[in-house]
Structures are given as C-alpha cells and as structure tokens.
Amino acid sequence: MKKILIAGAAGFIGSHLCDFFIKKGYQVIGLDNLSTGRIENIAHLINNYNFSFLNQDINNLNVIEEKLDFILHFASPASPIDFRLKPFEILNCGSVGTQNLFDLALKNDALILLASSSEVYGNPLQHPQTEEYIGNVNSFGERSVYDESKRFSESLAYAHIRYKNCNVRIARIFNTYGPRMRINDGRAVPNFINQLISNKDFTVYGNGNQTRSFCYINDLVDGIYKLLLSKYNKPINLGNPNEISINELVIKIKNLAKNNLKIIYKKLPADDPIMRKPNIEKANNILNWRPIIKLEDGLKKTYNYMIKENNA
Ligand SMILES: NC(=O)c1ccc[n+]([C@@H]2O[C@H](COP(=O)([O-])OP(=O)(O)OC[C@H]3O[C@@H](n4cnc5c(N)ncnc54)[C@H](O)[C@@H]3O)[C@@H](O)[C@H]2O)c1
C-alpha cells in the first residue's frame, strides 16, 4: 500500500485530496497546524484505518519516521485576507516549510508535488498565461508575501531537481473553488455566496471588469492526481480556461437564489491582477487533463454546501 503525506490536509484543497487518496486505496497521513484549515474538513476520516493526522507546523517539522512514497505540499495560508493577517507565516511556508518538506522527500526518496500558484505570473502582461511566461510581479507590496513565496518554492524545486536528483512535480494552480472553503476567507466565490446567504449587498472591488477563471475542486484534484503519476517535472498550469469577469460571476451567484441584493463597488486592492486565464495546452497534451465541471454546476454545489454549513 502506497503511503502519502498531505501537508495542508485540513484545508480546502488538502481535505479533498485526503478523501481522494483514501478512496484510491492509499495510506494517507494528513499534516496540518490548523492555521487556516478546520479539523471538521477531515473529521469524517479520523476513524478510517488508512488515515492518520499529525498536528504539526511544516516550518518546525518534527521527525516523521514512517516511510513515505509521496508528499503533497498544500500547506500555506492562501486567501487575500491572510496576506495581511499572516504575512510571515506565508513567507515561511514557501521557504522554510518547503525546504523541510524537500528534506523529508530526499530522506524517503519520495516524489514531492508542490502547490504553486497562478500568482507567480503576478499581474500578467501575457494573456492567457503559458508556463513559459515569467510574470509581472511586484516584489514589494501586500501580495508579494504570497507571490514571492510561491516563486521561491519553485526555485527550491528547480535546485532540488537539478542538483539533488529529487523527484518533483509542480502544479501552478489557478483559482479553485468548492465546498469546504472558509465562508469568510475573502476569496470571490465564498465571499459572494456568503453575502447571498446572509442577505447582504454584494461588494465588488474595482469596476468588476477584472477577469478570473474558476476551476471546480474535483477537476483540480483529478489534475493533481494525473500530474503526480506523470513523469513531468516542470511547472504546469492547472485551472479552468473559462474566463469570466467578476461582474458576470456576481450575476451567476445572485441567480442562485431569489433576492433583491445590489452590487456595491469598492476600491481595488493594490496589485490585484486585471486578468487571469490559464493556457492549459500542456496539461491537456501531457496529462490528458481538462476541467469538465461547468461553473453553474460547481457554484450550485458550493452554494448548497454553504447553506448546509450555515444551518449546521
Ligand atoms: N484555492 C486556490 O484557488 C489555490 C490557488 C493556487 C494555489 N493554491 C495553493 O494550494 C494550497 C492550499 O490552498 P487552499 O485554498 O486549500 O487554502 P487553505 O487555507 O484552505 O489550506 C491551507 C492549509 O494549510 C494549513 N497550513 C497553513 N500553514 C501551515 C503550516 N505552517 N504548517 C502546516 N499546515 C499549515 C492550513 O491550516 C490549511 O489547512 C496552498 O499552498 C495554496 O497556495 C490554492
């Protein structure tokens, strides 16, 4: 039985990965310090014989004796509100934490997969973004703690592949959404759904013409799995190329339930990207992967989950 360590296991993406690998018959060790994650996200796995949980900080990792085959690094605060609330933790997760997990991978001769981000492209001047695009990133600003932590992690990955013969996979993940996102974590989809559920007007930052491309969690997990099993060790975009403006997103979310809510426009935060759309040709050709879940369907599932959570 293959053993996989999932760092960030109690978070949004990490918890879905735990479910997925348990279903696939892996032995899963979930590791998390519960900084932005919730134990409720993995509570249903705690009594599973093939699952164990380590409450640990990747920046201060204790010795892990178990022999690992795979390591997934999904441990980092990731939502825009955390850029202000947890800047040092983010920087550490992308540097000290990443190094600690690479050391663990080397010790075990394990394959390590890194959750990088479309944020490595910054406010992109190339559209859509291909993996070759080197980005337009501000190294000194509110977003920089996150953007540069991901870029530094990728550099660590490069050095470990090149000079330490480490087996690495790098997923450049674009906006992903779905059940188990924190309702108040400030990202667009949970934010608007939260406003809908609590009957508060929608707040849009900027004029709402900025674009994003939203990928449903199940599609992303499928892509991560295909990447893990591939032999491809360069960064690869995983995201949904279906690009929409924030204004269009609000309308779709508004249409999920009867309401008279208005849209209130507020000042755009510094360095907020104007457009985001992945070119996924590589993922398509190399991994035979493309997202299949329609935005309307994914939003409905997320809305239903959040309604249930709200009433729990
Ligand atoms: N959701 C997205 O759209 C998206 C896009 C690009 C990249 N990513 C990356 O995917 C990963 C997971 O993101 P998410 O959206 O699930 O966020 P999340 O906040 O829900 O999950 C992150 C998890 O990491 C844990 N964590 C944070 N610091 C830790 C530490 N020092 N030690 C151990 N655990 C720690 C948190 O408690 C949380 O459970 C992050 O690395 C993020 O940068 C996410």
Specify whether 146 is catalytic: yes
Predicted confidence at residue 310, as pLDDT, reads: 81
Please tell me the distance from the alpha carbon of residue 164 to that of residue 191, in angstroms, as a whole number.
Answer: 42
Predicted confidence at residue 12, as pLDDT, reads: 98
- CATH code of 89's domain: 3.40.50.720
Question: Is residue 302 a contact partner of residue 247, using CB atoms and an 8 Å limit?
Answer: no
Name which of 159, 182, 179, 178 is nearest 170 in CA terms. Answer: 159
Q: Could you tell me if residue 47 is inside a domain?
A: yes
pLDDT (tens digit per residue) in 151-165:
999 999 999 999 999
Predicted confidence at residue 14, as pLDDT, reads: 98
Q: Could you tell me if residue 263 is inside a domain?
A: no
CA distances from 292 to 211, 218, 220, 289 (A): 20, 9, 10, 9
pLDDT (tens digit per residue) in 191-216:
999 999 999 999 999 999 999 999 99
Predicted confidence at residue 244, as pLDDT, reads: 96
Distance from Cα 139 to the centre of ligand 1, integer Å: 21
Tell which atom from ligand 1 comes closest to the C-alpha of 13: 16
Q: Are strands 51-55 and 168-173 parallel, antiparallel or unpaired?
A: unpaired
Predicted confidence at residue 281, as pLDDT, reads: 98
Is the shortest distance between the CB of 179 and ligand 1 below 6 Å?
Answer: no
| Angle made by CA atoms 17, 287, 293, in degrees to the nearest 5 | 60
Please tell me the distance from the alpha carbon of residue 102 to that of residue 251, in angstroms, as a whole number.
Answer: 43
Q: Which domain holds residue 151?
A: 3-179+215-241+276-292
Is the shortest distance between the CB of 58 and ligand 1 below 6 Å?
Answer: yes
CA distances from 220 to 47, 92, 142, 225 (A): 26, 25, 27, 9
Distance from Cα 56 to the centre of ligand 1, integer Å: 14
What's the predicted TM-score (pTM) here? 0.97
Please tell me the distance from the alpha carbon of residue 55 to that of residue 57, in angstroms, as a whole number.
Answer: 7
Predicted confidence at residue 7, as pLDDT, reads: 98
Q: Could you tell me if residue 79 is inside a domain?
A: yes
Predicted confidence at residue 145, as pLDDT, reads: 98
CA distances from 286 to 238, 279, 282, 283 (A): 12, 13, 6, 5
Predicted confidence at residue 184, as pLDDT, reads: 85
Name which of 247, 250, 249, 262 is nearest 208 in CA terms. Answer: 247
Count the domains in the chain.
1
H/E/C letters for each residue in the chain? CCEEEEECCCCHHHHHHHHHHHHCCCEEEEEECCCCCCHHHCHHHCCCCCEEEEECCHHHCCCCCCCCCEEEECCCCCCHHHHHHCHHHHHHHHHHHHHHHHHHHHHHCCEEEEEEEHHHHECCCCCCECCCCCCECCCCCCCHHHHHHHHHHHHHHHHHHHHHCCCEEEEEECCEECCCCCCCCCCHHHHHHHHHHCCCCEEEECCCCCEEECEEHHHHHHHHHHHHHCCCCCEEEECCCCEEEHHHHHHHHHCCCCCCCCEEEECCCCCCCCCCCECCHHHHHHHCCCCCCCHHHHHHHHHHHHHHHHHC
Is the shortest distance between the CB of 22 and ligand 1 below 6 Å?
Answer: no
Q: Could you tell me if residue 144 is inside a domain?
A: yes
For residue 264, count other CB atoms closer than 10 A to its CB: 11
Please tell me the distance from the alpha carbon of residue 164 to that of residue 158, in angstroms, as a whole number.
Answer: 10
Q: Could you tell me if residue 199 is inside a domain?
A: no
Q: Could you tell me if residue 35 is inside a domain?
A: yes
Q: Could you tell me if residue 42 is inside a domain?
A: yes
Low-confidence ranges of the chain (pLDDT < 50): none
Is the shortest distance between the CB of 59 and ligand 1 below 6 Å?
Answer: yes
Predicted confidence at residue 3, as pLDDT, reads: 98
Q: Could you tell me if residue 13 is inside a domain?
A: yes
Distance from Cα 79 to the centre of ligand 1, integer Å: 8
